Structure 1
Amino acid sequence: MATTAAALLPGGVEFAFAPRAYAQGQEPLSSWNNSAAKKAIVDFVHSTTVSSSPRFVPPEQRIATFDQDGTLWVEQPMYSQVVYCFDRVPALVKAKPELANVEPFKTVMKGDRAAIAKLPTPQLMKVLAATLTGMSVDEFEDQVKHWLETARDPRWKKPYTQLTYEPMIELLQYFRNNGYRTYIVTGGGQDFVRVYSERVYDIPPEQVVGSVGGTTFGYDSKGRPFLTKDPKLLLNDDKAGKPEGIHLMIGRRPFAAFGNSVGDKQMLEYTKAGEGERLAMLVLHDDSQREYAYGPARGLPDSRIGTFTQALYDEAKSKGWIVISMKNDWNRIFAFNT
């Protein structure tokens, strides 16, 4: 995920999708074609986990980091967390009717997606601040859970938690089966992703590193302690913020890192700068039929969301990073694909 606006503020219910264990004898990366990308993954895991290998990595050092938006699940045509923020505006206006005639809330209430997409960053920030802060962390968690159960993606008409990439879900499990701890390192809101990370990715909330804001400790009317979410940015976990967040929250340099955009460049550079065998991979969205196609690398359409520039593509090729082609390396994209 690479966007300033979406990264500026963070963010008992059963979700519609949960990670699956492999059946006995099932191919661990069955949604991957037998291409160079899959071979690179298998070779890396083998060389770092077989004790006789000169590239062996002790279990306690086996860390793999994954961007979320565009790497683990769909980010087009708008980041899911930003969709959540817009969907929260009606409830916000109901609680504060004076906002109905105030921009940008007035535009959002009209539901004009084209006009909403053109909102300048300062106005978008007002929506994010109003919908992601000012409530207790428990209230926020309940609001996100409810949204995840009720919201549907406009293209596939499915819950956002079903729009995870099946090859990447298999990859997460493959790494864990081989002694790696998997972390999400995202420009999105840490509090937002932690609500569903365990059920959707089998990644516990303490292994989610994201953009995070401050909280204030207090007591309710009955003397019970609680935390309120504040509009104060502590970490923008995008671009250079990703290795900074990894150091702050994990304390170990990853041996493998996965991303999909310019916002992940520094995380991959940081990973590859370590000693020993290291793996860096980028997902290229080049499948307009089964998902989306955008870059602008390799002549694909440009996009402000999940930008993958030709310069990033060239750097990947020159430095030995593996570029994953959705079109060529994945034989299916979603679990609901047959």
Structure 2
Amino acid sequence: MAMLRRTVLALLAAGLSSLGAPAFAQTEPLPSWNDGKAKQAILDFVGKVTQEGGPDFVPPERRIATFDNDGTLWAEQPVYFQLQFALDEIRRLAAEKPELKGKEPYRSVLARDLKALSADHGKGLLQAMMTTHTGMTTDAFANIVGNWLDTARHPTKQRRYDEMVYQPQVELLRFLRSQGFKTFIVSGGGVEFMRVFAEKTYGIPPEQVVGSSGVVTYRLDASGRPDLFKQAKAEFIDDGPGKPVGINRFIGRRPILAFGNSDGDLQMLQYTAAGNGPRLALIVHHTDAEREWAYDRNSPIGKLDKALDEGRAKGWTIVDMKADWKTVFPGKP
């Protein structure tokens, strides 16, 4: 499954005293978080790094916070949402062109034959990703993703996919920015996929989204208009050890706060925690089977095993979804 995840990602190519206390001490900055160790760790950390004259003060230009996306900012079950987009797009294309229905990957997607799609190291899934993510301009791809977000609904929650975001995390992003942080997405998902919704959904502009990418080439179309064309070739995989590499390449500063949820985020959390000065590494632990899903070590999606052990051993902040969040999704408890 780890090999399949990496291969798919290749094509998918965050009690203070009143004396000298920061302004947020006067209001509730994280209303969807329950009082507890996790919330207090965040408030204490932000308080000390923003306290001018204090021993742990960090100037605003160095207040970099990175967030994974899948499973950290929005849900990722029962399959990664970008993969669900690809499967839905295959079905749409097959409906438009019935002659495709007997060909792969269309046949297996339409038959919902996950076993066939996953066979041979996920060859069918890779075909679906290539078919729906390449051979078009970046503008055309963004339009297709936007249309999908407007029409598709999650199979069990019956919500728009961009409403499958975690309300506590949206509040945290907003709070951090209000305290001089610059927030980034650093995710294994496709960068051009995430940029379609990141600014509207999270308040994170496209230039602050780091993700997996495919080769894009410049060309002139038939009318002589310049465009960017998506090739069927991976360029950068922003997962596992690729995340610190991507942070260095595209951000240029080591984060002082990083938030993930799976073993794919381990190296980003290690890299953040190893820096000098105050650091905060956080992990969302999916423990809420009623409001969301409960999974960790044995899940093929968002496996949390090594990172959970290391986080506990090193004193990172483990956010227990069931215990620490009053609300999971916007508009619902």
- The alignment's TM-score, normalised by the length of structure 1, stands at 0.90
- Name the CA distance, whole Å, in 2 between partners of 1:138 and 1:207: 19
Q: Cα distance, 1:92 vs. partner?
A: 3.4
1:334 aligns with 2:329: yes
- Name the CA distance, whole Å, in 1 between partners of 2:114 and 2:331: 27
> Alignment partner of 2:126: what SS?
helix
Percent identity over paired residues: 47
1:47 aligns with 2:48: yes
Q: What is the number of equivalent residue pairs in this alignment?
A: 318
Aligned to 1:321: 316
Please list every run of 5 or more consecutive structure 2 residues that lacks an aligned counterpart in the other structure.
14-25
- Name the CA distance, whole Å, in 1 between partners of 2:186 and 2:175: 18
Instruction: Answer whether contact 2:167 2:330 (CA < 8 A) is retained.
Output: yes
Deviations, residues 107-130 of structure 1 (Å, cap 9, x unaligned): 102245676577842221111111
Deviations, residues 50-103 of structure 1 (Å, cap 9, x unaligned): 112111111111100000000000100001100000011134346666543233
- Name the CA distance, whole Å, in 2 between partners of 1:233 and 1:98: 29
Instruction: Answer whether contact 1:5 1:124 (CA < 8 A) is retained.
Output: no
Q: Cα distance, 1:26 vs. partner?
A: 5.4
- Name the CA distance, whole Å, in 2 between partners of 1:124 and 1:248: 29
Aligned to 2:227: 226
- The alignment's TM-score, normalised by the length of structure 2, stands at 0.91
> Alignment partner of 1:184: what SS?
strand
Q: 1:117 to 1:337 in 2, by over 3 A?
A: farther
Q: Cα distance, 1:142 vs. partner?
A: 0.5
Deviations, residues 19-70 of structure 1 (Å, cap 9, x unaligned): xxxxxx7521011111100010000001101112111111111100000000
- Name the CA distance, whole Å, in 2 between partners of 1:141 and 1:90: 18
> Alignment partner of 1:42: what SS?
helix
Aligned to 1:241: 242
Q: 1:328 to 1:215 in 2, by over 3 A?
A: same
1:279 aligns with 2:280: yes
Q: Cα distance, 1:217 vs. partner?
A: 1.2
- Name the CA distance, whole Å, in 2 between partners of 1:331 and 1:268: 25
Q: Cα distance, 1:231 vs. partner?
A: 1.3
- Name the CA distance, whole Å, in 1 between partners of 2:307 and 2:269: 11
Please list every run of 5 or more consecutive structure 1 residues that lacks an aligned counterpart in the other structure.
12-24, 297-301
The one of 302, 306, 321 equivalent to 2:302 is: 306
Aligned to 1:7: 9
CA RMSD in angstroms comes to 1.8
Q: Cα distance, 1:7 vs. partner?
A: 1.2
Deviations, residues 203-229 of structure 1 (Å, cap 9, x unaligned): 000000000111121112211111110
- Name the CA distance, whole Å, in 1 between partners of 2:43 and 2:141: 40
